[in-house]
Homo-oligomer: A and B are copies of this chain.
Amino acid sequence: MTDFLTHCRSVVGDAFVLDAPADMAPFLTDWRGRFTGKALAVLRPATVEQVAALVRACAQWRVPLVPQGGNTGLVLGSVPDAGGGAVVLSLARLNAIRQVDPINRTMTVDAGCILQQVQEAAAAEGCLFPLSLAAEGSCTIGGNLSTNAGGTAVLRYGNTRELCLGLEVVTPQGEIWSGLRGLRKDNTGYDLRDLFIGAEGTLGIITGAVLKLYPQPKASITALAALPSPTHALQLLNLMQDHCGSSLTGFELMSQYCLNLVAQQFPSLPKPFAAQHPQYVLMELSSSESEQHAVGLLENAIGAALDRDIVSDAVVAASVAQSAGLWQLREHIPLAQAKAGKNIKHDISLPVSRIADFIAATGPLLEAAFPGCQLVCFGHLGDGNLHYNVAPPDGISNEDFLRNQDKVNRVVHDSVVGFGGSISAEHGIGALKRDELAHYKSPVELNMMRAIKAALDPLGIMNPGKVL
């Protein structure tokens, strides 16, 4: 391996091949701090050509490699395993905005650009790059693409997959595929772009991308509605979409338990309603016309929902600050959970029409198996995506309860699959859910995935142990 590392140093320079334990440490532990892997070295190329040269070296010396962006993933997809034979290949130094084309409404970026940097570069040209998620200050667009990240704007703009027109990829053979097309329509052969998106670095390394931009909305307005049940939330979603079409840009469900948790842990945050209600929906409306238009549209729709008893109560934010306050309630749910102690998390999706039935059916199953357990259920209802987290009963420690993780997963995931849902909505598979994937996917589907993996990466050096 000395020869291999010497060769890597000749490619990127001594300073960018890290092998001292202290230097490597930040690259080896996952975002949630649950696992620390080992690596031969951390490689930090600065150009696509350097990435390609390093991959050729990995192929020649049969060294497995783990591509890494901002290392904010939630499924152990971007850290190496405990074996110590792999290298981490960090894309962080490929961080240039290559081009913004406001007429084509596209931008071409390096994979290592931070998401927030991409958002800001779009805004500087009067455009919107709509991908938005909690880690946006540190995650990279390459990681967003490799995990097909979701976030809070999927209802209107789609997942990261829908926001990408073209890719540049270094193949497992160390060749560069220049697929940086800025085209809305292109039917010339197989859709390689979408194969690399969401493949979590197991088929190749995304080094650049052409992203879709949108006109900046003229105004956004937020409201919080209180409702008797998840069924009412579904009725509200349909009513809002009928009234507002694609102006409805956010629709987030939160249970009373979630907001109580936030109120306990962050007492200074707003408390919009005096009374308690079983469920709440945070809605965001964006208008390409004016604030007046957005407010009128939102108030009309909420009025119709109140008339039909779909909604029990509602507040419409009267200012940007009030809007931000309502969003803070939503964004503080995971933080409040973290302060309250560890719990068992699920990132699931369902057909939107089955969500109320899923919630009604799964709670009793968990209660029967784990009496007194607490459900922290919230998420992007408009996309069918729930963060369905299970916290310990009163009097049981988090550590004791976490020993039930596999059993809790089985109850929740069996129910999800029974309702036609997915065990990973927006976080991916990584190493964490690899066994769950194998458990739930059909042999036909697994065999096709394995055939593609073997065809594109016959040496098996690309992020081994992840996904498949």
Contacts and interface: CB of A to CB of B under 8 A. Distances in A.
Interface of A: 101-106, 147-148, 150, 154, 158-159, 161-162, 171, 175-179, 181-192, 194-195, 197-199, 203, 215, 217, 234, 238, 241-247, 287-289, 297, 349-354, 380, 382-385, 420-429, 433, 437, 440-442, 444-445, 448-449, 451-456, 467-468
17 contacts: A148-B191, A154-B184, A178-B442, A183-B349, A183-B425, A187-B425, A187-B426, A188-B437, A190-B195, A190-B203, A190-B452, A192-B448, A215-B242, A243-B289, A245-B247, A245-B288, A454-B455
B189 A445 contact: yes
A424 B102 CA distance: 24
A352 B181 CA distance: 12
Contacts of A184: 154, 159, 349, 352, 382-385
A445 B186 contact: no
Contact of A189 (B191, B246, B429): B429
A96 to B, nearest CB: 19
A295 to B, nearest CB: 14
Contacts of A242: 215, 288
B351 A187 contact: no
A272 to B, nearest CB: 27
A429 B187 contact: yes
Contact of A422 (B147, B158, B188): B188
A179 B246 CA distance: 27
A424 to B, nearest CB: 5
A126 to B, nearest CB: 8
A157 to B, nearest CB: 10
A186 B451 contact: no
Contacts of A103: 234, 238, 352-353
Contacts of A353: 101, 103-104
Contacts of A245: 215, 217, 246-247, 287-289
Given A242-B288, A454-B455, A182 B429 contact: no
Nearest to A356: B103
Contacts of A455: 451-452, 454-455
The 5 A-B residue pairs with the shortest CB-CB distance in the complex, in nearest-first order: A245-B288, A455-B455, A103-B353, A194-B194, A104-B353
